[in-house]
Structure 1
């Protein structure tokens, strides 16, 4: 089954403080207005958020370009993607 295209939501990661045991839903489609987290905008796209539980209290950089090979963590892919404009 195919899905709608993934949208680039930003040009740099967002630093987030995760809390151990908390469940997070990272936006994988790029449509959420609550980046980098899901707000339900993916409904009908065939794309789903990546839901994960923080294993420890940690500060991480979550991807907003949506092309990381290590979702939800930024791997620097935003540096390799041609900038719009």
Structure 2
């Protein structure tokens, strides 16, 4: 995921899966765009959702509840 201070707010539906960038190279953050294929050992993180909701995904890469925001960015 490209770093940003604020979380990414994403609307998700029950039964939906997201593939989230973990390599920092995606041009479509927080979603994986396949850029990790050029980096040995890198892979997206699959997240499955069980309910409809707005998910707040970490943008700062410091959350202890990855991939979800835990508010750590407020102290950066």
Q: Hey, what's the Cα distance between the residues in 2 that align with 1:8 and 1:76?
A: 17
Normalising by structure 1, report the TM-score. Answer: 0.74
* Structure 2 unmatched runs, 5+: none
Gaps of 5+ in 1: 1-6
Q: What is the TM-score normalised by the length of structure 2?
A: 0.81
Secondary structure in 2 matching 1:35: coil
Counterpart residue number, 1:52:
47
Distance in 1 (alpha carbons) for counterparts of 2:13 and 2:64: 23
Task: Tell me if structure 1 keeps the 8 A contact 2:2–2:26.
Answer: no
Count of aligned residue pairs for this structure pair: 75
For residue 71 of structure 1, what is the aligned residue in structure 2? 66
